[in-house]
Structure formats: structure tokens, C-alpha cells
Structure 1
């Protein structure tokens, strides 16, 4: 009989009608090829995906920096507008530089603590003299040494 015949002839292994079927191995050649293709696709996509994630992080960082810069620009524009206001300049000159407009009586309180400053000086340890006294004493001491 012919090879494709499904007659009842033995095939050489002693079993009638086509013989015993081979046990299918766990990994066929098709499955191996499919696994290789899937691995190749995964490896070829790994680098672009990593770059995409890195670029998204960089974009988020740059957007945050842009928001901070815009906030600074807004604050600076408000500050510029304040500095353009004459009344604001006068208030700051009076407060910071102790300027006084003509005809206005201005007072400067040297000890911001009121009566507490003198009590602290009496009860506390001896304070250091001002820098100019220390400088003058060192000049006098240098003159005496000659």
C-alpha cells in the first residue's frame, strides 16, 4: 500500500492503522519561533519606551520651571508697578531711610523695646562696646606702643 493509505497495515511499530502518535513536545518549533519574535519585539520596543518616559519626565520638569518663571515674572511686574507709584516710594523712603517731608514732625524710636531695653541692660551680662570704640582703642594702643 501507499504511504498515504490509512489501511490497516502496520507502520513498522506494530500498531495497526497509522501507528501510535508521537507525544507532542512542550515546545514546538512554531512556539519557539513565536517566543523569539515576541522577545525581539519586546527588546526593540524597550529603548523607545524608555526614551519616551525620559522625555515625558523632562517635559514635566520644564513645564514646572516655566510655571515658576512665569510666577517670578508676574511678581516682578507687580513690583515694577509698585515702584512706579509715587506714594509707595514716599512710604518706603519714610520707613526705610527715615526721610521726613517738610512740615511733618517725625520721631525715631531708637530702642524698639520701650522700657524693657534698659532693664535688660542692667540685669544682663555686660555687652560689647560698639565697633568704632574698639577700633579707636586699638588705634590708641598702637600709638602707645611706639
Structure 2
């Protein structure tokens, strides 16, 4: 009987050891699954936070870049306007000089000083198309001048 008791106790002990081992394996599996599911949940939450940050920052970043471009464009326009103002100030200073104003009047308005005689040369054929037999088409201007001189000399 003592032997049966030992056998029984050994069998009972083996059964208990098997149950304990099975329980440990089950617990470790559930812990791993729980850990995996927690990491997956954490990863999903982290991904959601990162995506939310990207979406939240995309529009302000785009606006920032756009405004920086507008600022650069406005600075360029201001520099151009400043240069134009300087050119106009120079022109204004030159227009204060009487000799400069007289020269402009002579060049652009064809004005003459009192006592001078002004001449204006008018080309009689200014409105006409050049004739092909004269060779006017495709020739340089000085060739046309020499052709006109030769023609005037022959009386044609």
C-alpha cells in the first residue's frame, strides 16, 4: 500500500506537474499575445499620431512656403521700383540742364535755334514698295543708295 501510495503520489505529482507546465505555457502564450496586441495597438496609435501631425502641419507649412515666395517676389518688385526711382531722379537732374533740354528738342522735336535753317529730307518713294528689277529686295541699304546714285546720273 505504501507502494501504491507512492505510485499514486508520483502519478498525482506528474499530473500536477503537467497541469502546472500547461498552465505556464498557456500563460506565456497569452502574455506574448497580449504583448503583441499591446505593441500592435501602440504602433497603430503612434502611426495615427504621426499621420495626424503630418496632416495638421501640411497646410501651415504650405502656407509658410507660399508666403515666403510672395515676400521674395515683393522684395524683388520693391528693388525694381527703387532702381526706377533712381533712374527717374537722374533724368530729372539732367532735365534741369538747359543744354540737355536743347539737345533733346533738336533731336526729337526737330527744333532749330533762331537764325538757323532747318532741313528735312523726305524720300519720295517712302510709301512705295521697292521694285524687283532695282534689286532693292534682299540687298543692304548701301547698295540701294549706290543704285539710286547711278540711276540719277543716267537720268532715268
The TM-score range, normalised by the shorter chain, is 0.5 to 0.7
Residues 29-67 of structure 1: CA deviation (Å, up to 9, x unaligned): 111111111112111211210110111111111112112
**Higher-Rg member (1/2):** 2
Instruction: Give runs of aligned pairs for residues 51-62 of structure 1, distance below 5 A.
Output: 51-62=63-74
Higher helix fraction: Structure 1 or Structure 2? 2
| Aligned mates of 2:105, 2:85 — CA distance in 1 | 25
Task: Tell me how far 1:96 sits from its aligned partner.
Answer: 2.2
Give structure 1 stretches of 5+ with no counterpart.
1-6, 112-116, 125-146
Pair 1:63 & 2:75 matched: yes
Give structure 2 stretches of 5+ with no counterpart.
1-16, 132-156
State the Cα RMSD in Å. Answer: 3.4
Task: Tell me how far 1:120 sits from its aligned partner.
Answer: 8.3
| Aligned mates of 1:40, 1:120 — CA distance in 2 | 75
Bigger RCO (CA 8 Å, 6+ sep): 1
SS across alignment from 1:100: coil
Pair 1:44 & 2:56 matched: yes
Pair 1:107 & 2:107 matched: no
| Aligned mates of 2:62, 2:129 — CA distance in 1 | 70
Residues 93-127 of structure 1: CA deviation (Å, up to 9, x unaligned): 1222222223444433233xxxxx55985975xxx
Instruction: Give runs of aligned pairs for residues 1-146 of structure 1, distance below 5 A.
Output: 9-12=20-23, 15=25, 20=29, 22=32, 24=36, 28-111=40-123, 117=124
Structure 1 residues 95 and 34: alpha-carbon distance in aligned structure 2, compared to 1, 3 A threshold: same
Task: Tell me how far 1:90 sits from its aligned partner.
Answer: 0.6
Normalised by the size of structure 2, how large is the TM-score?
A: 0.55
* Count of residue correspondences: 111
Contact 1:82–1:88, Cα closer than 8 Å, also in 2: yes
